[in-house]
Amino acid sequence: MNCSQIETLMLDYAAGRLAPGDRASAEGHFAVCEGCRRRAEGFRAVSAVLEDWETPEISPWFNARLRARIAEEESFEWNWKRAFAWLAQPAAVAAFAAVVAVGSLAVWTSRPDVNVVAPKQAISNPARPNPKVDELMPVVEDFDMLADFEVIQDMKTANTAKTAHDKM
């Protein structure tokens, strides 16, 4: 028997509910496996403590008080006065104000600094145009042709038809 098999039988072993054959196999494993043996001893100790533990007696009026409390809570209807009743307590208002102040300060101080670049610094060399703009110019020049491209129009109508079919 290996550790994973013992794991499934550990609680039954500690409680003494294991079949004799399984109990012998488990004890054989405990003889060679220190970790499982310690774990089984721990389970047995906990099981013994739980067997000796006596449940405290419940008050005879417990159920009546519980039902009365539940009925009281259910009888309250929601209203604005009840929702903001916490504002009547100075400690709650002070705590709320502190949270708002700290939150506002955190948001205000975490704003990124905006560095405005002067117009003279933005243009590094006015004689030489930006190479990225030059790369995009052929795409812009072909935009009118692409806007009238029939394949794109066919794709839009096919997509619209598929969307309408999916909604059914």
Tell me the pLDDT of the chain averaged across its residues. Answer: 78
Asked if residue 34 is part of any domain, the answer here is yes
Is 1 a residue whose pLDDT tops 60?
yes
Asked if residue 68 is part of any domain, the answer here is no
Q: Is residue 102 exposed (0-12), middle (13-18) or buried (19+ Cβ within 10 Å)?
A: exposed
Asked if residue 29 is part of any domain, the answer here is yes
Asked if residue 36 is part of any domain, the answer here is yes
Stretch 112-134: mean pLDDT: 58
Stretch 157-162: mean pLDDT: 64
Domain count, the chain: 2
Asked if residue 83 is part of any domain, the answer here is no
Asked if residue 30 is part of any domain, the answer here is yes
Report pLDDT for 167: 60
Is 97 a residue whose pLDDT tops 90?
yes
Instruction: Please give the residue range of the domain that contains residue 23.
Output: 3-52
d(CA 29, CA 10): 12
Asked if residue 61 is part of any domain, the answer here is no
pLDDT band at 65 (very low <50, low <70, confident <90, very high): very high
Asked if residue 32 is part of any domain, the answer here is yes
SS3 123: coil
Report pLDDT for 96: 92
Q: Is 0.75 surpassed by the pTM of this model?
A: no
Q: Is residue 12 exposed (0-12), middle (13-18) or buried (19+ Cβ within 10 Å)?
A: middle
Question: In this predicted structure, which of 12-16, 105-109, 132-136 has the lowest mean pLDDT?
Answer: 132-136
Report pLDDT for 95: 93
Share of residues in the chain with pLDDT > 90 (%): 13
